[in-house]
Amino acid sequence: MKTRLLVACALLLALGCSQTPSQSLYQQLGEEAGIAAITDGLLHQIEHDPLIVGHFRDTDIPRFRRLLIEQLCELSGGPCQYSGATMEESHTGLHLTTRDFDRLVNHLITAMQQQKVPYSAQNRLLAMLAPMYPEVIDR
Amino acid sequence: MIRTSLVLLCCLLTLPALASSRVLATGGATSIEGSAGGGIVPWAVINGYGSDDEWSIQAFGTRVAVDDFTLHAAGLGYSWDNRWELSYARQQFKLDTLGGQLRQDILGIKYRITGQLLYTALPQISLGLQYKRHLDFDLPALVGARSRSGVDLYLAASKVWLDAIAGRNLLLNGTVRATQANQTGLLGFGNEHSNRHRLMFEGSAALLLTHQLAVGVEFRQKPNRLAFADEQHWRDIFVAWFVNRKLSVTAAYADLGDIAGLPSQQGWYLSVEGSW
């Protein structure tokens, strides 16, 4: 019995040390506070990027922030439900180009780096966002 | 010369935005033939980090030192719109044991047909052409090469799978090349009997360990057309360090097989690339 407990503890420790999906992406992103910080970092980057800030001229930033946090939370397996429009709808009229998309990806990576999100978790999130490319571009 | 450079610079400055919006490492390295890719295989990626409506210029220098030969390659590239890539490379192949040298110039053009390396389910697919012209053709002619110049045409497909292995991103590339070249052109083009193109397969796999560091392997199938000596397939294992969007360094261990009758040519590959 004692041995079994020890083995179980060792296993738990091993799992805890490796970055296996035992920790959900939501947890790896730092849960609600971490996702809010990543979102704020991204917004800061956008605000200081003259090449894309123009697209967000007519955007209600507090609402955009709240919806983005909701979406990242839901995507990463957190206890939230995204209440915004579909990707196609929400990007219609923004006229985002592939260059804008590239820049947004870079800004998101920078924001995640600033929050010290592990590289593997960054890639897990990017893998979920990348397929949205055709729904977001040229609308 | 300075005047020409200044005029050229002014022309470049009037072009659309010089910027580098693409994600780090998506420009790959520059192959020994001047096209963006791995070290010995051209990929579907467009060199540099320019996205839509952006352009960039690249410069590279590479040295491959195997048992009995040393290859120096250097060149320039110009990319725009993440669509077109123009390149020039000069290769100097020193015959350390046999004596002498073989040089060739390579002009390359690449066009991205479709796909986005990171974003689309479909791989990024590009069509490329390399015009090669030998500068020391006496020796290749002596060993049976028919032509001083030749054209390689290739179709390449590249794709990155995000979060593919242990949370790392995996790049796979496959290239089909129609070529007349013997030892990539260093021993001229065609043989006594024919100058027809042959279809060859080339492939690369790379794993990004971090945003800045990639490790991988490459394979390049080669024809074997000259009777005087066997030509064999090439392969290498590499590590690439993307310092930032302006600088990358690639080191590799290459196995180039038999060359001109000298067996099992292996050695180190080192390449530095700058991008603006």
Render pLDDT for B119-176 as a digit per residue (tens, 0 to 9): 999 999 999 999 999 999 999 999 999 999 999 999 999 999 999 999 999 999 999 9
Residues of B with CB under 8 A from a CB of A: 17, 19, 21-23, 51-54, 82, 116, 118-121, 162-163, 166-169, 210-211
Calculate mean pLDDT across residues A49-67. 92
Q: What's the sign of the alpha-carbon dihedral A37, A41, A47, A51? A: negative
CB B189 within 8 A of CB B150: yes
Question: Minimal CA–CA distance to B171: which of B156, B181, B160?
Answer: B160
pLDDT at A21 over 70: no
Render pLDDT for B225-240 as a digit per residue (tens, 0 to 9): 999 999 999 999 999 9
The 8 Å CB, 24+ separation contacts for A21-27 are A24/A76, A24/A77, A24/A78, A25/A75, A25/A76, A25/A77, A25/A121, A25/A124, A25/A125, A26/A73, A26/A76, A26/A77, A26/A78
Per-residue model confidence (pLDDT) at position B91:
98
ipTM of the prediction: 0.88
| Contact indicator for B116, B131 with CB cutoff of 8 Å | no
| Angstrom distance (rounded) from CA B106 to CA B151 | 9
Give pLDDT tens digits for A1-11. 455 555 554 54
Q: Are B208 and B228 in contact (CB under 8 A)?
A: no
Q: Which CATH architecture has domain A30-130?
A: Orthogonal Bundle (1.10)
Residue pLDDT, tens place only, A96-119: 999 999 999 999 999 999 999 999
Comparing alpha-carbon positions, the chain B residue that sits nearest to A131 is: B119
Residue A89: count of CB within 10 angstroms of its CB: 11
> Would you list the domain boundaries of chain A?
30-130
CB B237 within 8 A of CB B253: yes
Q: Which of B18, B119, B207 to mutate to test the interface with A (most CBs of A within 10 A)?
A: B119
Q: Which DSSP state fits B23?
A: P
Q: What is the pLDDT of residue B55?
A: 95
Instruction: Indicate the domain borders of chain B.
Output: 2-275
User: Over 70: is that where the pLDDT of B10 sits?
Assistant: no
Average pLDDT of every residue of chain B: 94
Q: Are B246 and B267 in contact (CB under 8 A)?
A: no
Tokens 């009037």: give the residue: B14
Q: What is residue A93's predicted lDDT score, i.e. its pLDDT?
A: 83
Mutate to test the interface with A, among B163, B211, B245 (most CBs of A within 10 A): B163
* Contact assignment for A123 to B167 by CB distance below 8 Å: yes
Q: What is the pLDDT of residues A72-90, one digit of tens each?
A: 999 999 999 999 999 988 8
CATH top class, domain B2-275: mainly beta
Closest C-alpha to B40, from B218, B195, B166, B188: B218
Residue A16: band (very low, low, confident or very high) from pLDDT cuts 50, 70, 90: very low
Nearest-by-Cβ selection for B169 from A102, A121, A123: A123
pLDDT single digits (tens) B40-89: 999 999 999 999 999 999 999 999 999 999 999 999 999 999 999 999 99
Give pLDDT, residue A92: 87
- For residue A37, pLDDT over 50 is answered with yes
Confidence (pLDDT) at A90: 87
A134 neighbourhood in chain B, CB within 8 Å: 119-120
d(CA A59, CA B247): 37
